[in-house]
Amino acid sequence: MNKFCLFSLVNIDNFMPIPLVNSIASWFLKKRIHQIELFLKYPFEVQNELLLNLVNEAKNTEIGLKYDFNSVKSYHEFASRVPISSYESYHKLIDRSRKGEQNIFWPRSIKWFAKSSGTTNAKSKFIPVSNASLEDCHYAASKDLLCIYLNNNPESELFNGKNLRLGGSKELYQENGTVFGDLSAILIDNMPFWAEFSSTPGNKISLMSNWESKVSAIIEETKNENVTSLAGVPSWMLNLLNEVIIKTGKNSISEVWPNLEVYFHGGVNFMPYAGEYNKLIPKKDFKYYEIYNASEGFFAIQDQNYSDELMLMLDYGIYYEFIPMKNYGTKNQKIIPLNEVVRNENYAIVITSNAGLWRYVIGDTVRFTSTNPYKIKITGRTKHFINAFGEELIIENCDKAIKIVSKKTGCEIRDYTVAPIFMKGKAKGRHEWLIEFKSKPLCLSYFSELLDNALKSLNSDYEAKRYNNTTLEMPKIILARSGLFNYWLKKKGKLGGQHKIPRLSNSREFIESLLKLNKLDIKKLL
């Protein structure tokens, strides 16, 4: 869940007076609000019609012929024929598509692939992005975001200035003419030429690969602009804003851009960064708007000021199903449509999309806070992970890295857990490893260096965040007392059986309790 781009409307200053632009925006808003009200009033009907349209569209594809989409007339027929899929089961089809084959899982040509984090069988995922998903999902959602914001804030002067966007870099998969890169880069690269006028920096700078050069170029281009909004991932944006303060010599971002009024954000949990942003932007009426998008699609938008709920968008070419997490991965696992979800239960999301992903488990979990209308909160991943800075570190990455480093150093690890150290002030983030060794390495700093290098080799997102210490610094290794983890489990009544130490956590809850125990003499307590 690590890529974001705000699709802005044309910069208005260059073409027409602000009042006229606001009038046009108001007209568009009223028209779109009516459509939103339609799926809010008839959610199941809208979703079922969407599913049948997707099935009909793809009936002559390889997937469509395999499952006889031509005869599918209902959700239940669709669900009974098409199995649940994951990237592991999909990647061979995607590899064929990246080599130029068409009409495999979607009837239209697919040129773009959003590069995401590693899986069981590959260092990186390559998620197909169709023209339909660009136009009817990602771009449509970005326009909706603006409309919803303006509807909630009629006195907004958003269009008086520009949106500062922070996206990724672009790489070309050159052998067969297909293109892969960060989703944000794909979105920026496919924008209409006129859309660039409303955003800063320009496309050339936005798509730069080198982070340090990119930051300097962004600051140079934007410091004298009338920036009224920000858009990007919180960890990356925080790095940029801290650099802006250093380079401009100002005390706050509000001094650099006094008309700044909103930050549109997504990709990682914003809560750990909220305090730092409040320091940098000390405006009582400043607003934060969260979105929920991923390489696989754009799913939900914060629809009210100062809310922590996201409205599930039901007409973006994505059909939703859900798996209750209480039975996820078990023999009793059940996949349900939207009309069967209940409030306050944790679900894994399954999507069928207009990019050819059929009953695809994206790996995210959500909880419904409301079913009328359907509103959600993002609760995490289907597996333990760390995504505090967009690194999307999974247990498999860590286990493999530990194996590599242990072999090279001759040490042996009994147990471990990892948690993020969140950014404070100008300090970068890092990972804190609490490790109980059965036999210790001769040099802990050398162990840390090897571990870091192993993680880079296994996870491309971690590698990107570690590049030149841009977002993440070297891992911090803490030696755990002998018996610490067993004592912790015993203390919680979970010693033995199938209970395991949480290897990865996106919060510091587990590691803080372990660190407190680590200061005690465990032998005396046993």
What tokens appear for 34 in the block?
């009516």
Cβ neighbors of 291 (< 8 A, separation 6 or more) are 4, 141, 145, 264, 265, 266, 298, 300, 301, 302, 310
pLDDT band at 292 (very low <50, low <70, confident <90, very high): very high
Q: Is the pLDDT of residue 456 over 90?
A: yes
Q: Is the pLDDT of residue 260 over 50?
A: yes
CA angle 428, 434, 439 (to 5 degrees): 130
Tokens of 40: 């809010």
pLDDT at 265 over 90: yes
What is the domain partition of the chain in residue ranges?
A: 12-42+130-316, 385-525
Q: What is the mean pLDDT of residues 352-360?
A: 98
State the Cα–Cα distance between residues 219 and 230, nearest whole angstrom: 13
Helix, strand, coil shares, percent, the chain, to 5: 40, 20, 35
Of residues 65 and 423, the one with the higher pLDDT is 65
Alpha carbon separation from 99 to 104, 170, 300, 499 (Å, rounded): 12, 18, 32, 44
Distance CA 180, CA 129 (A): 10
State the pLDDT confidence band at 80, using cuts at 50, 70 and 90: very high
Per-residue pLDDT, 186 = 85
Who contacts 506 (Cβ-Cβ below 8 Å, separation ≥6)? Answer: 269, 380, 385, 386, 387, 388, 419, 420
DSSP SS3 for 165: strand
Question: What pLDDT is stored for residue 198 in this prediction?
Answer: 79
CATH architecture under which domain 385-525 falls = 2-Layer Sandwich (3.30)
- Predicted TM-score (pTM) of the model is 0.78
- More confident site: 200 or 10: 200
- Using only C-alpha atoms, what is the Rg of the chain? 24
The more confidently predicted of residues 424 and 324 is: 324
Dump pLDDT digits (tens) for 99-156: 889 999 999 989 999 987 544 444 678 999 999 999 999 999 988 998 899 889 989 9
Q: What is the pLDDT of residue 24?
A: 64
Most confident of 202-216, 397-411, 440-454: 440-454
